[in-house]
Amino acid sequence: MNAAPALSFRSLDLNLLRVFDEVMAERSLTRAAHNLSLTQPAVSNALRRLRDTLGDELVRRQGQGLAPTPRAVALWPSVREALRQLESAIVPSAFVPAQASNTFVLGMADATAAELMGGMASRLERDAPGVSLRVLPLTTRDPRQLLADGVADVALGYFPAVLTDLTARAQSGEAVTFGHQRLYAGEYVCVMRRGHPLADQPLTLDSYCGARHLLVSFSGRPYGFVDEALASIGRQRRIVLTVNQFFTAGRVVVNSDLLTVLPRHFVPTTGMTDQLVLHDLPLDVPPVHVQALWHRRVQHDSAHQWLREALLQVAREAFGQDEAT
């Protein structure tokens, strides 16, 4: 590309920077155009004008998306922060909970809802009586598409693969399109009915693997994090039934000789505590950190900020200050 003429900031069309920011965030002209309510040709034209002005290609085609040049990577943080400050100064959007009538959609499993939604209901009654919450059952451990499509405002759950991918992208200098916040640390235990042949004896790895199991799988896939931990030590268990809700798992286990794995904090909410026996798992499993996950387009939205803070405070009240960090 030919060298650009001497750049004058006074003659720079600042709208081009909005397009640049969106293209860098999405790494896609189509998605950038959608977010900006522009046509793709309009976005392409704006990007061409900025390329000519700066004398740099800025982004190149790479696979199904776009890859930024070193100049674009260096420029983007300053452009993004400047645009954010301009937006805050020109279009202040203070969220007043007592006057608001927003409806927020939260994606989560029944175990998470059982622990947090009571506290959220109390908070709404006290602080934001006009605000409504709608819980959407999660059927995946990767809810990013739901958030990107605007189906849910925030997803709550255990998303280890998502966080690993976001961390890797950030470390490689790629755009990170999603924000996240740890809400609490959960502990999973082996659950069986009272009177089960294994109920009154120590649970060993051999007896655990030799039993018949019920798996809770939101997506329906026939293995979970316990199976991954078993595979890492060359062991496996026999799963004979898969369901997509923790409450259903508790109800089935009470009436069978199947074992299942449930969050310890969830067991009392089943109403069947006196019919169940809990054992520590006989193997090491990764820590289970329940996260709030959201799309970065609402990162600075004051209503969404209030929602995230409310969820964090409710988690702290339910699990203690140290766990929700």
For residue 202, what is the domain's CATH number? 3.40.190.10
CB atoms under 10 Å from CB of 4, counted, come to 12
Identify the helix (H) or strand (E) that includes residue 113: helix 110-127
DSSP, res 194: T
Is the pTM above the cut of 0.75? no
Residues 22 and 134 in one domain: no
Half-sphere exposure at residue 77, Cβ-oriented, CA atoms within 13 angstroms: 7
- Total domains in the chain come to 3
Half-sphere exposure at residue 200, Cβ-oriented, CA atoms within 13 angstroms: 4
Answer yes or no: is 324 within a domain. Answer: no
Q: Are 116 and 266 in contact (CB under 8 A)?
A: no
> What mean pLDDT, rounded, does the chain reach?
90
The answer on pLDDT for 142 being more than 80 is yes
User: Domain limits at 260?
Assistant: 187-279
Q: Are 278 and 267 in contact (CB under 8 A)?
A: yes
Answer yes or no: is 3 within a domain. Answer: no
Identify the helix (H) or strand (E) that includes residue 206: helix 205-210
Residues 163 and 243 in one domain: no
Answer yes or no: is 2 within a domain. Answer: no
Task: Write out the DSSP string of 23-92.
Answer: HHHHS-HHHHHHHHT--HHHHHHHHHHHHHHHTS--EEEETTEEEE-HHHHHHHHHHHHHHHHHHHHHS-
Degrees to nearest 5, angle at CA 206 with 200 and 212: 75
pLDDT per residue over 100-110, tens digit each? 999 999 999 98
Q: How confident is the model at residue 5 (pLDDT cuts 50, 70, 90)?
A: low
For residue 38, what is the domain's CATH number? 1.10.10.10
